[in-house]
Amino acid sequence: MIDMMKKQEKDEDAFKFTTDHLKGMISDIFLAGVGASAATAVWAMTELIRNPKVMKKVQEEIQTTLGDKKERITEEDLNQLHYFKLMVREVFRLHPSAPLLLPRETLSHVKIQGYDIPAKIQIIINAYAIARDPKLWENPDEFNPDSFSTIP
């Protein structure tokens, strides 16, 4: 990008790309990662507040597994916290940080659920719709970490 700025200095008519533009783009990149994590944490807390039984179960698991004196959960602790992981999966199911997955391009002609999709066509997968499909989930709009209990 800096190289591009130097090349544009020579061209009188070109849009002038400045260090302020560069700072703004780098800031956007960093904030995009933080924003998704913050939103997920807010949704997790919201769902736990809405579902006191689930919150109590998560709290009890943490207290019995890690003890009362542990102030923070570390990455090493996660392997011991089975129900906590189920709760996190359920938060991601109901509130995906990217509801539409990145576009995919078909390599060859395929037929999906009766639809002909030619080669070299971009498709977008709606993760939000899949996560709330009543054919796949019992009570799809309900926050229920136990729905993941059969998945390792």
Encode pLDDT of 16-49 as tens digits.
Answer: 777 787 888 888 777 777 778 888 999 999 999 9
Range of the domain at 41: 1-95
Q: What's the pLDDT score for residue 126? A: 93
Report d(CA 114, CA 110) in Å as an integer: 10
Q: Do 78 and 124 share a domain, yes or no?
A: no
For the chain, the domain total comes to 2
Q: Answer whether 0.95 is exceeded by the pTM.
A: no
Q: Do 82 and 123 share a domain, yes or no?
A: no
Q: Do 51 and 107 share a domain, yes or no?
A: no
Cα R_g (the chain), whole angstroms: 23
Residue 24 in any domain: the answer is yes
Nearest to 133 by CA among 106, 117, 113, 118: 113
Residue 51 in any domain: the answer is yes
Q: Which residue has the tokens 């392997």?
A: 79
CB 40 within 8 A of CB 97: yes
Q: Do 63 and 127 share a domain, yes or no?
A: no
Q: Do 107 and 69 share a domain, yes or no?
A: no
Least confidently predicted of 11-25, 82-96, 99-113:
11-25
